[in-house]
Amino acid sequence: MQVAAIQMVSGTRLEDNLAAARALLEQAAQGGAELAVLPEYFCVMGHKDTDKLALGEAAGKGLIQRFLATAARELKLWVVGGTLPLQTATPERVRNTTLVFDPSGACVARYDKIHLFYFDNGREQYHEGRVIEAGDTPVQFDLPSRGGHTWRVGLSVCYDLRFPELYRAHASAGADLLLVPSAFTHTTGQAHWEVLLRARAVENLAYVLAPAQGGVHENGRHTWGHTMLVDPWGVVLAEQDQDAGVVQGTLDPERLRSVRLQLPSLSHRVL
């Protein structure tokens, strides 16, 4: 199955970000992708954390959700909408939510980011918990590919990558593809991004597809990028370092089966 991970350098204006995302989704479709995954915060990288609140949508309604559904239907793609802000019962909080749309434009899965990023090295400070309400439930969905193989897909977002127990829960549920839409900072990404992605692939014997924000943003933030596709042996199959673009590659069910037969570590778990 052909897949695409979309790298963006999102700005502060929703309409501009949606236009950029549409062009990249079209590029993915033209390249033969069946699944295209947008990065975290694809719809906005605001000047302030609270900028997300004004864009918060009710589940099943709103401009961003219509955009994703329309793109999936018109391009005949499975589209994973990175993350977008969904409203909560508290006006001062939103969920940082991944939505999955099938090629008919129907929303078939929702994952609310569980782990909220906090980082303070004296020069940079990030505290997602100020405006984001955490989710609490791992989510998988099934994607029947054109080639006849049904892929079990586990959802995660950015900072989740540092918590291997989430990915083990996906593996226990039968996941063979792990998605990690992200907006890693340049500082933390340079240190840990690739090693964590490859570790999640190796320890769960699964493909990992990780679209990212990658560049210097209008708000001054610098994200690491390095969108990549990693195979179940930890081999990086495709990667883009910085700037907007589409990273495409092939998921091979026979490769997955072969690796899991050669090293059946998932069946050797004790704890």
Active site residues: 40, 113, 158
Angle at 174 between CA 168 and CA 175, to 5 degrees: 70
The single residue listed with the structure tokens 């969905």 is 141
d(CA 252, CA 229): 12
Question: Phi, psi (5° rounding) for residue 6?
Answer: -100, 125
Give the three-state DSSP class for 136.
coil
The DSSP output letter for 10 is -
Quick check: 71 and 20 in contact, CB under 8 A? no
Distance, CA of 164 to CA of 180 (rounded, Å): 13
User: How far from chain centre, in Å, is Cα 90?
Assistant: 25
